[in-house]
Structure 1
Amino acid sequence: MMARLLHRRHAAMPDYLNTAALIEHARRAEASAPDACACTRTPLDGWQSQPLSLDEARFREIGTLLPEDDPEPTYSEYLPDGTNYWAADAPIAPRYFPYNRCGLWECSSCGRLYLRYTEGGGYFVDRRIRAVRLDLIEDVPL
């Protein structure tokens, strides 16, 4: 946690996006995204390990779903009706894990939005990515 606090003091943090802001960004992106782009070669409807073929240079960070005033957001997940973490139809609930630790990124070529975070375990680090779909965003209180 100390490293995170030091990082915040020395690096410009992206702007915090609440659920309403995420919905507005998703609405604009879905209205303007073309049918195809290089960023859609690998389906990213559900959480995936970030493909090595994904060109990092084509993405720009728009903001974060991690509130600056919350030093340790919940690890509780919101998975109603038998959905699971990996499912393409799992809800995007910004107050719940892993969304509460995500950055919102935009493809500079087509404008599609993606959520990204780094999953860390005892012996691994896995950068994960998921496409944002407006119809899956839910504003669910903790």
Structure 2
Amino acid sequence: MPHFLDAAALTDLARRAQARAPQPCACTKTPLDGWQSQPLSLDESQFRQIGTLLSEHDPEPTFAEYLPGKTNYWSADAPIAPRFFPYNRCGVWECSSCGRLYLRYTEGGGYFVDHRIRSLRWEVIEDVAL
């Protein structure tokens, strides 16, 4: 299982990644500031998982969401709250070409599976208790 990252470690990792000089990269063709269905143009081979927000000590993470104010699930400014859905089911992935970080998880419904992705930005990470 990938290395578990708590909110402090996630914030530190995101700050360091964002501090690197941004480079043009194919992973930025589609804006991913808020949750998106993973674009088909995204090359899976250029990503590697470097951590997880899914705690092995929490076999049934909550489906409760943390969406204060007027934010919604799809909002670019919605907080990344690691203890809340969907973040508590995410892997942390790095683009091997540019070093940008992304959160990814699989949304499953009765008849569909949707791979979702969002840029990891330290400015919107909130360590909120359940």
Per the shorter chain, which TM-score range? over 0.9
Distance apart, 1:36 and its partner CA? 2.1
Q: Is the CA contact 1:113–1:131 (under 8 Å) kept in the aligned structure 2?
A: yes
User: Which one has the bigger helix percentage?
Assistant: 1
- Give the match for residue 83 of structure 1: 71
| Distance in 2 of aligned mates of 1:66 and 1:33 | 29
What residue identity is the alignment partner of 1:53?
Answer: S
What residue identity is the alignment partner of 1:98?
Answer: P
| Distance in 2 of aligned mates of 1:87 and 1:132 | 13
- Give the match for residue 15 of structure 1: 3
| Distance in 1 of aligned mates of 2:3 and 2:107 | 21
User: Quick check: 1:117 aligned with 2:105?
Assistant: yes
| Distance in 1 of aligned mates of 2:78 and 2:41 | 25
Distance apart, 1:35 and its partner CA? 4.2
User: Quick check: 1:136 aligned with 2:124?
Assistant: yes
Percent identical pairs in the alignment equals: 76
Determine which structure has more spread, i.e. the larger CA radius of gyration.
Answer: 1
Pick the aligned partner of 1:94 from 79, 82, 104. 82
What residue identity is the alignment partner of 1:120?
Answer: G
> Following TM superposition, where does structure 1 have runs of at least 4 consecutive aligned residues deviating by more than 2 angstroms?
none
Q: State how many pairs are aligned.
A: 130
- Give the match for residue 42 of structure 1: 30
- Give the match for residue 58 of structure 2: 70
| Distance in 2 of aligned mates of 1:104 and 1:48 | 15
Q: Is the CA contact 1:60–1:108 (under 8 Å) kept in the aligned structure 2?
A: yes
Q: SS where residue 100 of structure 1 aligns?
A: helix
Q: Is the CA contact 2:67–2:79 (under 8 Å) kept in the aligned structure 1?
A: yes
Structure 2: 5+ residue runs without aligned partners?
none
Describe how 1:47-58 pairs up with structure 2 within 5 A.
47-58=35-46
Q: SS where residue 72 of structure 1 aligns?
A: coil
Q: SS where residue 123 of structure 2 aligns?
A: helix
TM (norm. structure 1) is 0.90
Structure 1: 5+ residue runs without aligned partners?
1-12
- Give the match for residue 105 of structure 1: 93
